[in-house]
Amino acid sequence: MEKSTRSAAIRDGLGVGVAVGLAGLAFGATAVTSGLSVAQACALSLFAFTGASQFAMAGVVAGGGSLLAGTAGALLLGVRNGLYGLRMADLLGVRGRRALPIAHGVIDETTAVALAQPDRESARTGFLVTFVSLYLVWNLTTLIGSAGTSWVADPAALGLDVVGPATFLAILWPRLTGNDPQSRTLRLIAAGGAAVALAATPFTPPGVPVLVAATAVLAVILRRSR
């Protein structure tokens, strides 16, 4: 039984890691068309390694925002990974020096695969397999996407600036279409964030509307608490 659950965890981890990792092609292309260099795009994937934050930063820079605004938006989105870490710390049971590299891998996909497993050992296996496969594929495809796009004389002419937002929406879409309470909450947040961003766009510098839109999360939390 234990062997079968570990095998299932490995299959889950590899499936998610490879499938999601291929989106690194889109990020690499988006980063270069946004004005980042190949080295900067690859450094983001190596050291940030959280797709939503990376796409958000590239989007802010593409819209004319500063790196400071882009970084602030990326950090804001990355806060959720810290919350995942609170749950994953007990499940993975990693302490000391090993905790630092493991913490780097606490993202949406690794957390989801780990929590979907029936026991602690298979959860650890699922987490590690997802982390390693996704990290390797994501960084390799970021390099391929960014280097390939940089060889094009005018990457903007290809319309690749829409790849990032489209990929981000594709990742988020399944979470918005359900009928469960979590999906309804996410729809409220998405609608509120879009409304706030649109209202702020004419009056604030590029990149700032994305940050201001985060107030929609606070509004929904307060509404639910009441």
Are 139 and 39 in the same domain?
yes
State whether 48 and 91 are in the same domain. Answer: yes
Confidence class for position 138, pLDDT limits 50, 70, 90:
very high
Question: When comparing pLDDT for 169 and 187, which is higher?
Answer: 187
Assigned token pair, 106:
């606490």
> Per-residue confidence at 147, pLDDT binned at 50, 70, 90?
very high
- Same domain flag for 193 and 147: no
Examine the domain organization and report whether 83 and 31 are in the same domain. yes
List pLDDT tens digits, range 78-134: 777 888 888 888 888 888 888 888 999 999 889 888 988 888 899 999 999 999 999
Counting Cα atoms < 13 Å in the Cβ hemisphere of 25 gives 6
| Residue type, position 12, single letter | D
Residue 133's pLDDT is 95
Residue 39's pLDDT band (boundaries 50, 70, 90)? very high
Domain boundaries, position 65: 2-158
44, 134, 142, 198, 199 from 193: Cα distances, Å: 25, 29, 28, 9, 10
Q: What is the pTM of this model?
A: 0.72
* Residue 109 to residue 100: CA distance in whole angstroms: 18
pLDDT of 11 above 70: yes
* Domain co-membership, 194 together with 134: no
Q: How many residues does the chain have?
A: 226
Pick 58 or 145 by higher pLDDT. Answer: 145
If asked whether residues 42 and 107 sit together in one domain, one would say yes
Residue 208: the pLDDT is: 65
Q: Residues 42-88: pLDDT tens digits?
A: 999 999 898 878 887 887 777 777 777 778 777 877 777 888 888 88
Q: What would the mean pLDDT of 182-188 be, rounded to a whole number?
A: 76
- The whole-number pLDDT of residue 29 equals 86
The verdict on 98 and 50 lying in the same domain is yes
Q: Clarify whether residues 16 and 53 are in a common domain.
A: yes
Q: At what angle do helices 51-62 and 24-33 cross, to 10 degrees?
A: 20
pLDDT at 168: 58
pLDDT of 115: 87
- Together in a domain, 108 and 183: no
pLDDT-based confidence at residue 15 (cuts at 50, 70, 90): confident
Burial of 27 by CB count in 10 Å (0-12 exposed, 13-18 middle, 19+ buried)? buried
Tell whether 69 is covered by a domain: yes
Token representation of residue 128: 């590690």
- What pLDDT, in 10s, does the model give residues 119-135? 889 999 999 999 999 99
Report DSSP letters for 14-66, one per residue. Answer: HHHHHHHHTTHHHHHHHHHHTT--HHHHHHHHHHT--HHHHHHHHHHHHTT--
- Looking at residue 134, its pLDDT comes to 94
> SS3 breakdown of the chain: % helix, strand, coil, rounded to 5?
80, 0, 20
Instruction: Tell whether 140 and 198 lie within a shared domain.
Output: no
Q: Are 41 and 27 in contact (CB under 8 A)?
A: yes
Average pLDDT over all residues of the chain: 80
pLDDT at site 106 = 92
Structural domain total, the chain: 2
**97 and 191 belong to one structural domain:** no
pLDDT for res 169: 66
